[in-house]
Amino acid sequence: MTGRAVRLHRVLRAAPEKLFRAFTEAEALAKWLPPHGFTCTVHHLEARVGGGFRMSFRNFGTGGAHAFGGEYLALEPGRLVRYTDRFDGPQLPGVMEVAVQLTPVSCGTGLTVVQAGIPDAIPLDMCHLGWQESLTQLAALVEPDIPG
């Protein structure tokens, strides 16, 4: 794993348990994870330690796609999601590791994401921008408190 990493922090108006579900349920991930301009297909997701996932992002403008998958290393409901990520193509070698820390705060949840081991071919600023877009979409999914 390379030392290249991005770190993001947000405070969201949602319970830690709701955020945890957003990181471990296929339909939720497909809705918020792809950055702007991409769609997501979750091909497989087994949210348990040792379980794995496989998904693909498709560039809506060009139609090009890239697939990736990984393994869940740690899952603590309402507190922590840690997993690996590996792209299918040889142009993006290596294994990344993502750690998502959830901390209750007075107005919701503090969310810290650290993605490490980012391949050299991915500019760190583009990776950071993609995560920012994804987290904006995550907030749109988890913050509404819709009755019934």
Does the structure show a pLDDT above 60 at 87? yes
Express each pLDDT in 39-71 by its tens digit.
Answer: 999 999 999 999 999 999 999 999 999 999 999
- 147, part of any domain: no
What lies within 8 Å, CB to CB, of 146 at 6+ separation is: none
Flag whether 117 is in a domain.
yes
pLDDT at 93 over 80: no
21 domain residue, yes or no:
yes
Q: What is the pLDDT of residue 91?
A: 77
Residue 52 lies in a domain: yes
Q: What is the mean pLDDT of residues 142-147?
A: 93
Q: How many domains does the chain have?
A: 1
Q: How buried is residue 29: exposed, middle or buried, by Cβ count under 10 Å (0-12/13-18/19+)? A: buried
**In a domain? residue 148:** no
Q: What percent of the chain has pLDDT over 70?
A: 99
Residue 29's domain spans which residues?
A: 5-142
Within-domain flag for 18: yes
pLDDT of residue 1 exceeding 70: no
For residue range 67-83, list pLDDT tens digits in order.
999 999 999 999 999 99
pLDDT of 35 over the 70 cut: yes
The CA-atom distances, in angstroms, between 103 and each of 5, 13, 76, 80, 109 are 21, 12, 12, 9, 5
Q: How far is CA 128 from CA 23, 51, 131, in A?
A: 18, 27, 5
2: confidence class by pLDDT, cuts 50, 70, 90 = low
Q: Say which amino acid occupies 46.
A: E
Domain CATH number, residue 46: 3.30.530.20
Token pair, residue 52, equals 């794995």
| Domain assignment present for 45 | yes
Report the chain's mean pLDDT, rounded to a whole number.
95
**Is the pLDDT confidence value at 8 over 90?**
yes
